Structure formats: structure tokens, C-alpha cells
């Protein structure tokens, strides 16, 4: 089994609200972007994102991950460019703010982001043994069948809640070997084993196929990825099975709602 340390490494933020706002305004000037008159800045312990922006009614809200609290000034200025590029569409975020993108690749920041992510995330349980399926066994079997046993064991876990929009995900952020999370909707005795295998195979491919950045946009499901995906022998049978899982879940949720509705009317 793989072990990953836990911890929460938020750091004291040194730049003031006004300084941050000023940096954003200056960054906007540098990249030729327009910003709304009203800026609302906050620094929060985000689990995963470097920052978040929301534009509403002539106002821009910016939340920055507290992991950048002690970042050097040129990094914060570069981060401001990235934020402005994302919020205004004036430039592609990956095309600006190079000192920022260099900084997030440093060992120190990657470690801090990982510790924060594991301590703050609420989306999955890092326990591979589900009610029915064991993700380590699944990983080992697929590693042997499709990857000549060369992939190292990542951190494995199930989502805490059923998801209806994705069956799993892979993140390289968690060191040393990444993270694979599988949707707990698949942890049911009615779900055929090959569906678990196909889902795990897809996520394991992400460990092997590097994302491609084209024009500042990161793509993980490249054409090459899709070709390799079809190497899974029952690839064509996966989609109908996923639909069945969703229908079953829909009926379950519907039944709960109807029961609650009846109780509500009494
Ligand atoms: Zn994928």
C-alpha cells in the first residue's frame, strides 16, 4: 500500500488587500485587459485551485489560495496576470505570468499544495476497500493485464458521494505516484466487474499518457489517449453499463423523493 502524509500548510498572508487589488489593476494594464471598477479580494484555504474568480453585476470576486501567502512579489504579480487573463479573456492564462507557472512547479509549493489538498478535500475517502470492490486488487489486475506491471501504485480511493457526471479521476498532484478516485456509484454488486476494470484502465492510462498543451489549453483526452483507451477489450460495452448505473441511481433517488413527498403531505 502507498502512504501519503497529511498536513495543512496554510501560511500567513503578507500582502494586504489593497496591495493585491493594486497588483491586479497593474497586471490588467500590462496585458491590456479591462477590470470592473469593484474588486473583492479574499484569501482562503482552497483545497485544490490556485484561485477562483466570479464576475457578477459589474463586480469581480477573486479568491486566492492561502498557499501563496509567502510567495515573492514577482510571483504574486505574475499570479495577478493569470487571474486577470482568466477573468477577462484578454489573454490565455497559460500564456502570461511565467514566474507564477515556474513557482507552482517548485518542489516546495507542490508539496504544500499536496498536503493542503489531502487535508482539505472532502470529495473522496482514501480507503481502497469499498463495500464490494477493492481498488488495490483492481489496480494490480489491470497493471498486469495492460501495463506489463510497470505502473507504481497511486493513492486509491472512492468518492464519498455518488457522482452523475464522471466515473473517476486521476490527479498527478498527489506524490509520489498520483491519485485515482473511482465514483462510489460503481461500488455495487449489480455492476459487472469489467465496468470497474474499464474505469480503472481509463484512469491508469492518465498515469501513462502526458497531457498536451496546445495554445495554452491543456488536453488530457488526446487522440492518442482515445486510441489506447480502445485497447480495453470491452470498451464498447462500457457506455451502456454506465447508463444502467445512472438509471438505477435515478430510480433510487426518485423513490426517496416520492417517500419524502408523501410524508410531507401528511
Ligand atoms: Zn480521463
Provide the grid cell at 156: 486509491
pTM of the model: 0.74
Q: How far is CA 170 from CA 12, 13, 52, 178, 186, in A?
A: 30, 30, 21, 7, 16
Residue 8 has pLDDT above 80, yes or no: no
Pairing of strands 155-159, 124-125: antiparallel
Residue 33 has pLDDT above 70, yes or no: yes
CA of 18 to the centre of ligand 1 (A): 40
CA of 202 to the centre of ligand 1 (A): 6
- End-to-end Cα separation, the chain, in angstroms: 52
**Is residue 63 within 8 Å of residue 42, measured between CB atoms?**
yes
Residue 228 has pLDDT above 50, yes or no: yes
Cα 10 from Cα 1, distance rounded (Å) = 28
Residue 5 has pLDDT above 50, yes or no: no
Of 83, 48, 86, 93, nearest to 67 by C-alpha is 48
Highest mean pLDDT among 33-42, 50-59, 226-235: 226-235
pLDDT in tens, 73-96: 999 999 999 999 999 999 999 899
CA of 206 to the centre of ligand 1 (A): 7
Domains of the chain plus CATH, in order, are 17-119 (3.30.2010), 124-255 (3.30.2010.10)
Amino acid at each position: 500500500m502507498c502512504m501519503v502524509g497529511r498536513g495543512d500548510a496554510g501560511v500567513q498572508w503578507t500582502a494586504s488587500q489593497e496591495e493585491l487589488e493594486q497588483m491586479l489593476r497593474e497586471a490588467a494594464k500590462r496585458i491590456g485587459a479591462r477590470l470592473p471598477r469593484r474588486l473583492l479580494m479574499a484569501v482562503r484555504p482552497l483545497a485544490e485551485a490556485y484561485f477562483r474568480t466570479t464576475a457578477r453585476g459589474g463586480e469581480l470576486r477573486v479568491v486566492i489560495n492561502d498557499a501563496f501567502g509567502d510567495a515573492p512579489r514577482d510571483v504574486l504579480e505574475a499570479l495577478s496576470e493569470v487571474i486577470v487573463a482568466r477573468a477577462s479573456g484578454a489573454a490565455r492564462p497559460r500564456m502570461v505570468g511565467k514566474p507564477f507557472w515556474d513557482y507552482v512547479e517548485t518542489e516546495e509549493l507542490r508539496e504544500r499544495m499536496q498536503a493542503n489538498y489531502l487535508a482539505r478535500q472532502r470529495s473522496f475517502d482514501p480507503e481502497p476497500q469499498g463495500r464490494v470492490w477493492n481498488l488495490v486488487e483492481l489496480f494490480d489486475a489491470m497493471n498486469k493485464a495492460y501495463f506489463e506491471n510497470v505502473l507504481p501504485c497511486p493513492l486509491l480511493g472512492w468518492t464519498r458521494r455518488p457522482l452523475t457526471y464522471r466515473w473517476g479521476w486521476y490527479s498527478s498532484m498527489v506524490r509520489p505516484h498520483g491519485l485515482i478516485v473511482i465514483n462510489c456509484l460503481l461500488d455495487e454488486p449489480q455492476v459487472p466487474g469489467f465496468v470497474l476494470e474499464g474505469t480503472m484502465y481509463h484512469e491508469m492510462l492518465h498515469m501513462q499518457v502526458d497531457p498536451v498543451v496546445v495554445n495554452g489549453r491543456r488536453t488530457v483526452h488526446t487522440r492518442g489517449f482515445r486510441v489506447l483507451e480502445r485497447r480495453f477489450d470491452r470498451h464498447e460495452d462500457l457506455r451502456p453499463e454506465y447508463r444502467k448505473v445512472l438509471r438505477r441511481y435515478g430510480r433510487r433517488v426518485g423513490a426517496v423523493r416520492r417517500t419524502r413527498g408523501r410524508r410531507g403531505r401528511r
